[in-house]
């Protein structure tokens, strides 16, 4: 069974800092990996999707990398802003091609 | 707004009652998923449809849970004889595996928060 772990569970940084969120998974036979953002009491917003054949994806201040062989992904957020405060979830899709397996998330607080 | 929509957004019910939630996917998406999320946890996969066919339902939590997607459009998730442990956020997602340059990127709705008293 695929296990997804996110470290740290919570993170507080001052505005302007660059930061890295970590995701690890136990089964490297994945189809793709998605990073999501979740605001309190809300649904999930897709940030980036990395296919298994890719090494990284970028969107604005966000950069996600994937090392499938070691079972790791990182989400890099540049020049953090208070509006980035949210829970960030990593999810992997196995080769079955449908279910996402989620980590518990990293709760990020960016202080002004 | 052409995103995934879910109704109701909140549902409070008494233990033992039946509840039904609705999900309307992004219109061109052929795949639809249901997940459950409890406090402090990531979403947990429940079931999946491709068009009107329910291709995976073994991870529904018990036989009290059922889902339908008539005509391959909207979907409903029903929980019969609700229990306090069913209290959670129920999330719906949709995706398309046809003609997309981001294969199977899942897009989520706002969720339905269920409280069982």
Instruction: Determine, for residues A46 and B109 on separate chains, whether the beta-carbon distance falls below 8 Å.
Output: no
Closest A-chain CA to B91: A43
Average pLDDT over residues B77-92: 97
B99 — pLDDT class (breaks 50, 70, 90):
low
* Per-residue pLDDT tens digits for A16-31: 999 999 999 999 999 8
Chain B residues with CB-CB distance to A42 below 8 A: 110-111
CA distance B33 to chain A (A): 8
pLDDT of residue B100: 54
pLDDT of residue A88: 98
Instruction: Determine, for residues B109 and A100 on separate chains, whether the beta-carbon distance falls below 8 Å.
Output: no
CA distance B2 to chain A (A): 14
Q: B71 φ, ψ to 5°?
A: 65, 15
- Average pLDDT by consecutive 10-residue portion of chain A (112 residues)? 94 96 94 95 94 94 96 97 98 86 97 96
Instruction: Determine, for residues A104 and B111 on separate chains, whether the beta-carbon distance falls below 8 Å.
Output: no
* Per-residue pLDDT tens digits for B25-69: 999 899 999 999 999 999 999 999 999 988 888 888 899 999 999
Selection from B77, B91, B88 nearest residue B40 by Cα: B88
Of residues B33, B40, B110, nearest to A42 (C-beta): B110
């Amino acid at each position: 069974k695929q296990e997804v772990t996110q470290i740290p569970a919570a993170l507080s940084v001052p505005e302007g800092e660059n930061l890295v969120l970590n995701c690890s998974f136990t089964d490297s036979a994945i189809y793709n990996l998605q990073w999501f953002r979740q605001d309190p009491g809300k649904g999930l917003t897709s940030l980036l999707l990395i296919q298994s054949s890719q090494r990284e994806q970028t969107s604005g201040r966000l950069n996600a990398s994937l090392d499938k062989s070691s079972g790791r992904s990182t989400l890099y957020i540049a020049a953090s802003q208070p509006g980035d405060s949210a829970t960030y979830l990593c999810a992997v899709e196995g080769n079955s091609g449908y279910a996402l397996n989620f980590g518990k998330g990293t709760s990020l607080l960016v202080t002004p | 707004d052409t995103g995934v929509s879910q109704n109701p957004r909140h549902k409070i019910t008494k233990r033992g009652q039946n509840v039904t939630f609705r999900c309307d996917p992004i219109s061109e998406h052929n795949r639809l998923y249901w997940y459950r999320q409890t406090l402090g946890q990531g979403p947990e996969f429940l079931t999946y449809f491709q068009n009107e066919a329910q291709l995976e339902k073994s991870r529904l939590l018990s036989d009290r849970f059922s889902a339908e997607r008539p005509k391959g459009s909207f979907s409903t998730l029903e929980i019969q004889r609700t229990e306090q442990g069913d209290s959670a956020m129920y999330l719906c997602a949709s995706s398309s595996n046809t003609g997309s340059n981001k294969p199977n990127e899942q897009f989520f709705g706002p969720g339905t928060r269920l409280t069982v008293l």
